[in-house]
Amino acid sequence: MSHDIGKLKTQFLEYVEIEKGRSLKTVENYDHYLSRFFEFGKIVSPSDITDDSIREFRLHLNRQDGRKERGQQAGTMKKRTQNYHLIALRSFLKYMMKRDITSLSPDRIELAKVGDRHIDFISATELDRILSGPRGEDLKSLRDRAILEMLFSTGLRVSELCSLNRDLDLSKDELSIRGKGDKVRVVFLSQTAKDAVRRYLDKRGDMDDALFIQVSQQVAEKLKNNDDIRLTPRSIERIVQQYTIKAGVSKKVTPHIIRHSFATDLLENGADLRSVQQMLGHANIATTQIYTHITDKHLRDIHKKFHTKRK
């Protein structure tokens, strides 16, 4: 019995979204990675997926110019990015096995070995300069200050920040957020962040549900047409970059790097790894452990200060 690979892919993506509860972004990525493989290998049925077709696809990926991948430097595609394609394909093959459809065993796919994940971070001084960038009392400055303070106070992912609505209860020091894998966790608000959000909301004159919105001259027209004015992750990335340049910080700073700063600040001030894991919403503590490399300097300073020196 022959099976159309396109229909199977659609059914698989629906399974990933509904049965596995993955986010729409994950579904979109799986669609992209699988389509790339099927197109390259001229795959029309599950039986076309072979050791040879995967080997040739891996060679193809390894020879891709990394500059075509967002945020990559010139050179070959990163091993981690190559693995994303293989993980999607392996999940698809597991789905085939679950449905008793004959294809390559998912165990035949081995991921490329990758080195330890490198994290870019900024100093506390650089972070302070960025956070103090928005100084005006106009709506845009108040909004941008609230965005930056919220990012550092909560450690939210940029997509999570964008999803917030203005009905935030600022009488409390915490809020619940639905993050990756549809999991709910609690994050905490500093008084500085709450004050910044309150001042921003007091300045708002619209009734839109979104917490962070566009403030351009075209907003009134968009509201009139019921267009969405909620800020997107890309918009917030641009805002962070704007204040990074204004602060004279030469590094590329993103909302995710501010999230890194949130994690390292906690660890350097004595927070335990498990608590930081919960606040970041990491499913696996191994993901959180990457931050311990950054705090090594803090440990070295403690060792130097307190360890007995031999005369």
Q: Is residue 256 annotated as part of the catalytic site, yes or no?
A: yes
Please, what are the domains in the chain?
5-108 (1.10.150.130), 124-303 (1.10.443.10)
Q: Is residue 30 annotated as part of the catalytic site, yes or no?
A: no
The pLDDT value given to residue 224: 63
What are the backbone angles phi and psi of residue 207, rounded to the nearest 5°? -115, 15
3-state secondary structure of 233: helix
CA distance 281 to 183: 8
Beta strands in the chain (DSSP E): 174-178, 184-188
CB neighbour class for 264 (10 Å; exposed up to 12, middle 13-18, buried from 19): buried
The residues that bridge with 47 in the sheet, in sequence order, are none
Q: Is residue 309 annotated as part of the catalytic site, yes or no?
A: no
CA distance 244 to 250: 8
The catalytically annotated residue of 129, 166, 180, 246 is: 180
The catalytically annotated residue of 143, 145, 157, 260 is: 157
The pLDDT value given to residue 223: 64
CA distance 95 to 42: 20
Q: Is residue 282 annotated as part of the catalytic site, yes or no?
A: yes
The pLDDT value given to residue 152: 92
Q: Is residue 260 annotated as part of the catalytic site, yes or no?
A: no
Q: Is residue 291 annotated as part of the catalytic site, yes or no?
A: yes
Residue 50: CA atoms inside 13 Å, Cβ hemisphere, count? 9
- Quote the tokens at residue 132: 């103090």
Q: Which residues of the chain have pLDDT under 50?
A: 70-74, 311
The pLDDT value given to residue 68: 52
Cα–Cα–Cα angle for 178, 180, 185, rounded to 5 degrees: 40
The pLDDT value given to residue 115: 62
